Structure 1
Amino acid sequence: MRLTIGVLLAALISPLAQAELIDEVNDRGELRIAVQADTPPYAYRENEHLTGFEIELGQALANELDVRVEFIETTADDMLPGVENGKYDIALNQTGAEQKTDGALDLSQPYGRKSLVIPFQKDNPAFESAVNNALQRIEADGRLAALEQKWLEGRAANEP
């Protein structure tokens, strides 16, 4: 009898455990983005408000996904583990395409002149597709180039 109940519970819980991240984001109506608020010109506080390249890019991504955005300030040590365990949906933290995540996370397609990528939870193909499509639209219509020009050009000496 206990085995039957256990099997039934496992069958009911399994579909929930395999929910796609894009469905969670849509159900919540919000994209949770981890940022470090001390990395100008990428993300920093100015007059008590977050600003910078990553903040404006995150807003553009959320708009393309048709959800609100929530920026969550975190530390470098918590950022990727927080994405891995679902505390954050993505991290915007100047992750380069060449950086390794030890297979714990999946990465978006590279974007921009610096070939940055966006880390997110592993095994979420629909979310990956949605993020990559959003990045392609932001790049294709010139918004990405405008953000890079606004925030990154002429600031090479300040970049991490």
Structure 2
Amino acid sequence: MRSTIGVLLAVLITPLAQAELIDEIADRGELRIAVQADNAPYSFKENERMTGFEIELGQDLAHELDLRAEFVEATAAEVLPGVESGKYDVALTPPTELPANDGPFDVSLPIGEKKLVIPFQKDNPAFESAVNNALQRLKDSGRTAELEQKWFKGVPQTAAGQ
């Protein structure tokens, strides 16, 4: 009996027993998305409202996940540490600021011609699957191409983060 209780306690306090990120987000009902407010055409303020490619993509992604999008303005230095700590669920980050593959993040499949990826906390396979499936639906519907055309048409590759 004592060994059974010990085993149960050990299982409960291991990282594998922690709640999956997708469950925490679903309970909250919103996807917290870190964006930079001064990073046109990705995200920027226009008439005191956030707009840009990342804002529209984030809204579409949250909608595909049956969640509300909650955009949180962050500096470039705050974005990835905020994702790692759980302050933000995801970051929509220009390709020049992507985390290393061996870092503390997992990332989505590349999005569109710009090859944008979405970093999130490592070891959350259900969340990764949900995000990738949602992104695939957006791609299949033509929405990601539509957003790229809208926000990056005529923008030189270097100015658009590559």
Structure 1, 8-17 or 133-142: larger mean CA deviation: 8-17
- Describe the SS at the equivalent of 1:25: helix
Provide closer, same or farther for how the CA distance between residues 98 and 11 of structure 1 changes in structure 2, counting only shifts above 3 A: closer
- Which residue matches 1:149? 149
- Which residue matches 1:100? 100
Structure 1, 90-99 or 44-53: larger mean CA deviation: 90-99
- Describe the SS at the equivalent of 1:87: coil
**1:38 counterpart letter in structure 2:** D
Deviation at 1:115, TM superposition (A): 1.4
Q: Deviations over 1:11-33 (max 9, x none)?
A: 55447962100001100000000
Cα distance in 2 between the residues matched to 1:19 and 1:95: 30
CA contact (8 A) 1:95 1:118 kept: no
- Describe the SS at the equivalent of 2:33: strand
Residue identity (%): 67
- Which residue matches 1:140? 140
Give the TM-score normalised by the residue count of structure 2: 0.86
**Aligned residues: CA RMSD:** 2.4
Instruction: Give structure 1 stretches of 5+ with no counterpart.
Output: none
> What is the number of residues matched between the two proteins?
156
Deviation at 1:102, TM superposition (A): 3.8
Instruction: Give structure 2 stretches of 5+ with no counterpart.
Output: none
Give the TM-score normalised by the residue count of structure 1: 0.87
**2:20 counterpart letter in structure 1:** E
- Describe the SS at the equivalent of 1:45: strand
Deviation at 1:101, TM superposition (A): 4.8
- Which residue matches 1:85? 85
**1:61 counterpart letter in structure 2:** L
Q: Deviations over 1:54-95 (max 9, x none)?
A: 000000000000010100000111111110110100000113
CA contact (8 A) 2:35 2:79 kept: yes
- Which residue matches 1:159? 160
- Which residue matches 1:35? 35
